[in-house]
Structure 1
């Protein structure tokens, strides 16, 4: 049976239980990672009392206890303590509008046997993934693409437009995937399949026109503290052990400190480090662990095995080159030895304006006053001649990256500094056939998203919208879901609680980025909760030192992959790729972004096609 085969492919997402439902129209299969109500009563697919509504669900509903009480008062009878059952009875009571009452991370499929209607839904932020294929005679959906590919009737074809977009942004923007014909259900959307027709509708978007927002900064800080504390506390509900990832950065440190308020006993923290101090935050992580009295676990990573890269690509299903993917994968494997659930700090950089690209955009207001010929032909050429420096950032590397991004098309807005193609690279890298097959308009989707935003004249909030709705879901959150589920570990992201996110969106942009201080109001809210050394430090991250690895341990692996890839031979200029490799390994230029992106493409294509 296809449904059972698809579920087996996703056994890593749910090793504890499995179940299948079939009737003459629909087959639903599920793999369960037991977290709330560990008994057989929590098994899925789950139904209502008369079996007319059947659901398979992935995620956590953090307000399920309140919804359960409300539904019981309306006469609904529950057979389990599971949050899944709240969705079933909520649908009975409120129909599709039940989605708007859920507070949490979720992707689910619900079959209404009376209306012969299939409902798919994905949470507002896009924390949990959902993919689908709609052919002439079939509709298939799953939490991962590889499960859809179990159906031999789904033809495997490369989506060249997605490949073009990926090479620039380093992820595939929704609703595309790298597989032609397979789509992502966008965050904040639901899909209905009825009478053979598919309709996709948006039920939520991020608005910057909130009500009852404090106009006084001090009052706003206090209210933010309340939102942060409630979000973290609500994410602690679990019938299994939980821990927290602690990088030493502000976001994860905040979660550890707030968890400590509500957990009196042992609290396990997990971090990763490198010998190269410019890539490592171990000292800060140790400081926070001691401050909060945690049981701290450190994973040192200084060598990179090619099989790690290949394993992550298998679980990602499509290329995505976030340089922290492999370290996160290894960290999740370590954490799973101790806990089943981990909290993590994803989302704060987007919602609170923590990335360097927000600062670059503000600096560019001055840089853009120079004549274009000066910016491009003089400063641009001079910056390009500067040799790459070995550290992660440093003044020279920051200057080079700023000038490169500033000289890209301004339609990209602040995302120009997170875009890694340019006209020179495209002309040298792509074959004429590939150029003819794609729309070479890299920022067309950025403009579409920007046009939806209601932030008005607040430039910083408009940039936050682009990060939250365009970038984050298919890059950061996809990475987190896949790397954690590969180890049967659930990651929760309390800083993306949608009520907290909505509150933050309604605040003025200048409260988030004040002059060149990122996360300004967030830092103010954490003053006194964490050591000042942590609260007022800059951003670093724990990305893999790929540029060094491609010049050393992974050089031979890279050369072989890029030379032998059938897809790259057919669509790219291999002589130009060789030139990029030579320049990078000789430290003339840092081409690690495009080379790493091509490496991921080659591994992906080998795994899923060849």
Structure 2
């Protein structure tokens, strides 16, 4: 099975001059892995606009497919990172309106779409994308990001210039700007405690921002004014509710259509299979819509939590070409510096961070360039235990109390100063409150957990290995449909039941069309390595990093607290939260050395 793919990355400078050329070249080189085949750029010397792009292009290798891409009059310039899945339909629409196309590239749809619809073009795109458009007539730069934040986009206002890039590491190439000298210690503190930065748009580097999902940012080239606009949000109005059986059929049809659109293929494609519901159903759907052999991959560990056998059972049932990738703690510690270099803004400390990176690296070695993953299903179908708060009688509690209980359910992930995050989380829940508790929780998960945590991990781990990750469950039409379904279609059974079959009820019903009951009734699976294995694999190395005189940790924690962690760790007395804190401190210090200029 093969997939059409154009992995790309782009960088840019606004209000630059000849002195910025060296910085610009370094910025473009820093994202080479996002597109190792080709590099091209455009410079408007009169306005000081620099645009550079890298690509790995399989779909259209001609000059007409290169980016930056222009319209016929060379008044609109576009760079894109991602895939537009509905570009054939949009291309037909634009051709009917008189637009002429010179390539088979989906980027050209954005060029002509912007000519036709202006900034409304973003509302018509179905896919994952980060986009920059330069309007030479209006002297405006427009940055845009897809609805749920699958593709990242960073920007920095520094001095009298504005910089933007697909990856934050590009800004560390600026001659008078460095990560280490611009650390935001408040956000470092937040990151240590919460595993990821819950404040959308924030990073641990002062001045470096992430464009919010579902937003576009206009930059006035002359005065560098920034105007951010939301172009998408979750629906608030819903049509007639179908019966449960009708919803099952509608969801199945939508899933089949969505997966099919994600399989536009010219290069080898695989599926990351954990053996849980989401990835197993995804694999079954891929099997349904293609006649080509399906390749699946899973992680195999050498500890008691190894669950690769479940993925193998699904692969055998679906007759996929299945590969197990062995991961052990010693290999992680041995290559920790190389791995952590790819997580440039250290947005997340997820336990599966490095596991995902190693998987993608090995998958690329096996010749696979596109990888489908099951991320997003938990957030839209109720796959976390705290969605149980939406069931009566808790759903009838005052919203502030609902928010408190939601926070309490999440607090097991908070390793450090849990009280510090309480007010922020309560305010976030309160600000997006509706009278449907399930939708309240789903909304926060979609806007906080996904873009700031899971999707950042997936993009950085995959693109660092020149693998394009696709997440069909997060197609915005599927998200909107699932969001509009009643809670009782998603949750079934007793409040906070430990039974997996009570979660994602409608998704399990769809999966029953393709898989045996035993395979769709298992609890959540993932690719998580116990941190104690990694820490113990080279304890002295961990200690050397965290105890270093110039350690970042010394700016947010007392020496006594740090020593206490190591003392308890030495005797095996750390609970899970404190173990994760030690792991995060280790990664933070490795990152600090890698980006320490």
TM over 0.5: yes
In structure 2, the residue matched to 1:447 is 426
| 8 A Cα contact 1:361 1:414, kept in partner | no
Q: Distance in 1 between matches of 2:438 and 2:504?
A: 12
By how many angstroms is 1:345 displaced?
0.6
CA distance 1:196–1:472, change in 2 (3 Å): same
Question: Residues 100-139 of structure 1 correspond to what in structure 2 (within 5 A)?
Answer: 100-139=123-162
By how many angstroms is 1:361 displaced?
8.3
By how many angstroms is 1:284 displaced?
1.3
SS in 1 for 2:57: coil
Identify unmatched segments of 5+ residues in structure 2: 1-20
| 8 A Cα contact 2:278 2:374, kept in partner | yes
> Which digits, 9 at most, give the CA deviation of each residue in 1:106-141, with x for residues without a partner?
001110000100000000000000000113310100
In structure 1, the residue matched to 2:231 is 203
Q: Distance in 1 between matches of 2:556 and 2:520?
A: 47
> Which digits, 9 at most, give the CA deviation of each residue in 1:242-287, with x for residues without a partner?
1111111111111111111122122211111113242x22111111
CA distance 1:511–1:554, change in 2 (3 Å): farther
* TM-score between the two structures when normalised by the length of structure 1: 0.86
Question: Residues 261-272 of structure 1 correspond to what in structure 2 (within 5 A)?
Answer: 261-272=288-299
In structure 2, the residue matched to 1:479 is 457
- 1:512 corresponds, among 474, 490, 493, to 490
In structure 2, the residue matched to 1:171 is 196
Matched, 1:553 2:537: yes
SS in 2 for 1:560: helix
| 8 A Cα contact 2:128 2:150, kept in partner | yes
Identify unmatched segments of 5+ residues in structure 1: 369-405, 424-439
> Which digits, 9 at most, give the CA deviation of each residue in 1:172-219, with x for residues without a partner?
2321111001111111111000142101111111235332442x1111
- 2:110 corresponds, among 87, 109, 112, to 87
In structure 1, the residue matched to 2:64 is 41
Q: Distance in 1 between matches of 2:57 and 2:279?
A: 25
By how many angstroms is 1:358 displaced?
3.3
CA RMSD, 1 decimal = 2.3
By how many angstroms is 1:600 displaced?
1.7
Q: Distance in 2 between matches of 1:362 and 1:575?
A: 44
By how many angstroms is 1:446 displaced?
2.5
Matched, 1:233 2:233: no
Aligned residues: 553
- 1:180 corresponds, among 188, 206, 209, to 206
In structure 2, the residue matched to 1:60 is 83
Question: Residues 402-551 of structure 1 correspond to what in structure 2 (within 5 A)?
Answer: 410=405, 412=407, 414-422=409-417, 441-453=420-432, 456-514=434-492, 515=494, 516=497, 517-550=502-535
Q: Distance in 1 between matches of 2:583 and 2:260?
A: 39
> Which digits, 9 at most, give the CA deviation of each residue in 1:351-405, with x for residues without a partner?
1111234358879959x9xxxxxxxxxxxxxxxxxxxxxxxxxxxxxxxxxxxxx
By how many angstroms is 1:414 displaced?
4.2
In structure 2, the residue matched to 1:381 is none
> Which digits, 9 at most, give the CA deviation of each residue in 1:323-359, with x for residues without a partner?
1111111111121122111111111111111123435
**Which moves more between the two structures, 38-47 or 353-362?**
353-362
By how many angstroms is 1:448 displaced?
4.1
Q: Distance in 2 between matches of 1:42 and 1:255?
A: 31
CA distance 1:340–1:188, change in 2 (3 Å): same
- 1:335 corresponds, among 363, 366, 381, to 363
In structure 1, the residue matched to 2:559 is 574
CA distance 1:339–1:549, change in 2 (3 Å): closer
**Which moves more between the two structures, 440-449 or 557-566?**
440-449
| 8 A Cα contact 2:70 2:77, kept in partner | yes
SS in 1 for 2:324: strand
Q: Distance in 1 between matches of 2:411 and 2:289?
A: 41
Matched, 1:589 2:574: yes
* TM-score between the two structures when normalised by the length of structure 2: 0.88
| 8 A Cα contact 1:131 1:185, kept in partner | yes
In structure 2, the residue matched to 1:351 is 380
| 8 A Cα contact 1:213 1:503, kept in partner | no
> Which digits, 9 at most, give the CA deviation of each residue in 1:75-108, with x for residues without a partner?
1011100001100100000000000000000001
Q: Distance in 2 between matches of 1:451 and 1:87?
A: 37
In structure 2, the residue matched to 1:22 is 43
By how many angstroms is 1:445 displaced?
3.6
| 8 A Cα contact 1:38 1:239, kept in partner | no
SS in 2 for 1:241: strand
**Which moves more between the two structures, 472-481 or 143-152?**
143-152
SS in 1 for 2:546: helix
SS in 2 for 1:149: helix
Q: Distance in 1 between matches of 2:392 and 2:552?
A: 39
